[in-house]
Structure 1
């Protein structure tokens, strides 16, 4: 998909600079209608700048931002078919819930009747399960209820695109999980495009249809959550998205389509690779904690000693010290019942399924070698 008419949002060679600082550099991005997209990355990667350029709070230094095929250059925020939910909700403390939600409706021209405003505000509150809360004050609501009011206020104008700037950051873990589910359900019911900015990998992976990983002002990878997690484009994505173990080594050869990597401790493992690695190249091998299998000493590929055991209910996490390689993390599920748990200080062998290791150019400790960033688009 390349045509703007098939996109709710499109970036064309967009750059944003603040003096000598480049916040966003040469981004091409196409987001289809009714998609839930997460912009994910560390602080300073450019994700919030992108969101603000869609909203109209910032203008590109170069390139174009289009919404539903129309170039937004010079279009003020209140003339754009978007609404935004801010991290701190930005509710008016002197207004009750209904008037907070109705505020945007009262700014519309031509003016809506008082009856129409009340009706639409009530519908928006019912949409977020707050029917009957219209006359309450903001300070009388819980954090989750305030977040719903902010959502209702953003949705009441029926935007083409809803922008979410880390809206769940202030909520506790249980409430955050509940709101993640509600946001997913709401987006599917409304059928409009949601763009979420977050630095929380779990939030991005669990909520969105597509995850757009950013670093240093550029898009590093975009894809469905399972693709980004299981097939990271480079060492940055593998290290940033979720947990992983990175094992430094050198390429010693190739066999059966796999890269043979000699690790720093002298052992050799076979790994998949998306890069053209040659013999002698420095490499880091990524192994997800859940891919590791703990066995009796002497049976696996690597040998180590359990240093910590962390019980998490459904899973158990182990921190294992491996000579020369350092500490690795392994995650075990229900099959490791209480009687089969490894104890701190106990020697273990570490194995893994064929195809689980993934090799990348560069060694993390010495600075990741990044591939050239590609222009990307979401294919619906």
Structure 2
């Protein structure tokens, strides 16, 4: 019997082995009802294995996967209250849109009345903004429209959990952005739990309300997107989620809430302590957008002097690579103002300033 649970998905000490290879190790995870969770990490980190264990395509070697409070060990994929949208959609090319979406409903037992199937297919197509496309063939659709058909086919069975295996990877940037907004809107309207697997940091941060960062088969950080970006749990998260500068130094003094680190060029940075630190070498993590770039030569605190070596024009922003003696290359991102015309050319001497509150100190 299904138990009452505040979580749609739970991993309880889950480990998955493939022979001598451990894909995920002792995972503990709770996904609240109605959440949009992104499993984020590099290739081989275990995120797809976790998704497949939720969907029933894999069974844990140890531990238990729960859906809506019910243990799923031994429950096949077709008997779980979940559905999945694959990266390559897996649509039937010989079916039209309507029959692709209706396929899963026609497999249900006891059989649904034909009128009920027609009604639910029409409703699912309206949901994904394809109301007039029922009789179209798959080859007549754009990539974005095919993605919506796959989404409608997954939603028409009214699952408790929808699994998304990098469903936007094949789309161009503009269409991918539009579909990200579409998926968010659908998820809010339906109120069901979405689990997205992606290695795209921007996609994870922009779409989800909960990000699970994985590395080497383990969960490194589980938090809302802003928390993951602003307060990374370790150097891996700081470097993988967004861009960061790693400034090496030596801890000179450490208090309960502040720490002094001397950088390679002799500059001492005093920054807040946000985690456990050992003595000795340290690495400062500073986001490129947290650094202010100017041609001023004032000697205020926390200012690095260097020379622009590269400039990357991105339209609304500009990225500069600045060589700082004793430290190395520092990446700086500046937002362009509407009236701004002048950009710093390679070879320009610049000063880099930053607020120590934006610095994260990690033990090396």
For the structure 1 residues 89 and 58, does the alpha-carbon distance in structure 2 shift closer, same or farther, using more than 3 Å as the test?
same
- CA distance in structure 2 between the aligned counterparts of 1:177 and 1:168, rounded to whole angstroms: 9
- CA distance in structure 2 between the aligned counterparts of 1:41 and 1:152, rounded to whole angstroms: 27
Which residue of structure 2 aligns with residue 323 of structure 1?
Answer: 325
Which residue of structure 1 aligns with residue 206 of structure 2?
Answer: 206
Alpha-carbon distance, 1:273 to partner: 3.2
Secondary structure of the residue aligned to 1:307 is strand
Per-residue deviation, residues 79-108 of structure 1 (Å, max 9, x unmatched): 000000000000011111100000000010
Alpha-carbon distance, 1:359 to partner: 0.6
Alpha-carbon distance, 1:219 to partner: 0.3
Could you say which structure has the greater relative contact order, defined with CA pairs below 8 angstroms and 6 or more residues apart? 1
Trace 1:17-166 onto structure 2 (pairs within 5 A): 17-166=17-166
Give structure 2 stretches of 5+ with no counterpart: none
Which residue of structure 2 aligns with residue 13 of structure 1?
Answer: 13
Which residue of structure 2 aligns with residue 290 of structure 1?
Answer: 289
For the structure 1 residues 339 and 175, does the alpha-carbon distance in structure 2 shift closer, same or farther, using more than 3 Å as the test?
closer
Kept in 2: contact 1:297–1:303 (CA 8 A): no
Farther off after superposition, 125-134 or 292-301 = 292-301
Secondary structure of the residue aligned to 2:149 is helix
Kept in 1: contact 2:278–2:363 (CA 8 A): no
Kept in 1: contact 2:257–2:274 (CA 8 A): no
Kept in 1: contact 2:87–2:167 (CA 8 A): yes
Kept in 2: contact 1:319–1:329 (CA 8 A): yes
Secondary structure of the residue aligned to 2:352 is strand
Farther off after superposition, 328-337 or 212-221 = 328-337
Alpha-carbon distance, 1:339 to partner: 4.3
Kept in 2: contact 1:168–1:176 (CA 8 A): yes
Which residue of structure 1 aligns with residue 305 of structure 2?
Answer: 303
Which residue of structure 2 aligns with residue 313 of structure 1?
Answer: 315
Farther off after superposition, 267-276 or 165-174 = 267-276
Which residue of structure 1 aligns with residue 218 of structure 2?
Answer: 218
- CA distance in structure 1 between the aligned counterparts of 2:268 and 2:345, rounded to whole angstroms: 27
Residue 340 of structure 2 is aligned to residue 341 of structure 1 = no
- CA distance in structure 1 between the aligned counterparts of 2:221 and 2:26, rounded to whole angstroms: 14
Alpha-carbon distance, 1:57 to partner: 0.1
For the structure 1 residues 327 and 19, does the alpha-carbon distance in structure 2 shift closer, same or farther, using more than 3 Å as the test?
same
Which residue of structure 2 aligns with residue 235 of structure 1?
Answer: 235
Trace 1:180-199 onto structure 2 (pairs within 5 A): 180-199=180-199
Alpha-carbon distance, 1:271 to partner: 2.4
Secondary structure of the residue aligned to 1:91 is coil
For the structure 1 residues 345 and 337, does the alpha-carbon distance in structure 2 shift closer, same or farther, using more than 3 Å as the test?
farther
Residue 334 of structure 2 is aligned to residue 332 of structure 1 = yes
Farther off after superposition, 186-195 or 351-360 = 351-360
Which residue of structure 2 aligns with residue 375 of structure 1?
Answer: none
- CA distance in structure 1 between the aligned counterparts of 2:20 and 2:183, rounded to whole angstroms: 38
Secondary structure of the residue aligned to 2:204 is helix
- The RMSD of aligned alpha carbons is 1.4
Alpha-carbon distance, 1:118 to partner: 1.2
Per-residue deviation, residues 255-305 of structure 1 (Å, max 9, x unmatched): 5822111112222112233332244x2211100010001122432511100
Which residue of structure 2 aligns with residue 353 of structure 1?
Answer: 355
Secondary structure of the residue aligned to 1:116 is helix
Alpha-carbon distance, 1:340 to partner: 4.4
Farther off after superposition, 312-321 or 40-49 = 312-321
Kept in 1: contact 2:261–2:270 (CA 8 A): yes
Alpha-carbon distance, 1:178 to partner: 0.2
Q: How many residues align?
A: 359
Secondary structure of the residue aligned to 1:338 is coil
- CA distance in structure 1 between the aligned counterparts of 2:33 and 2:278, rounded to whole angstroms: 42
TM-score (norm 2): 0.96
For the structure 1 residues 351 and 161, does the alpha-carbon distance in structure 2 shift closer, same or farther, using more than 3 Å as the test?
same
Secondary structure of the residue aligned to 1:355 is helix
- CA distance in structure 2 between the aligned counterparts of 1:24 and 1:349, rounded to whole angstroms: 45
For the structure 1 residues 337 and 361, does the alpha-carbon distance in structure 2 shift closer, same or farther, using more than 3 Å as the test?
farther
For the structure 1 residues 343 and 99, does the alpha-carbon distance in structure 2 shift closer, same or farther, using more than 3 Å as the test?
same
- CA distance in structure 2 between the aligned counterparts of 1:145 and 1:50, rounded to whole angstroms: 28
Farther off after superposition, 299-308 or 44-53 = 299-308
Give structure 1 stretches of 5+ with no counterpart: 363-380
- CA distance in structure 2 between the aligned counterparts of 1:36 and 1:115, rounded to whole angstroms: 32
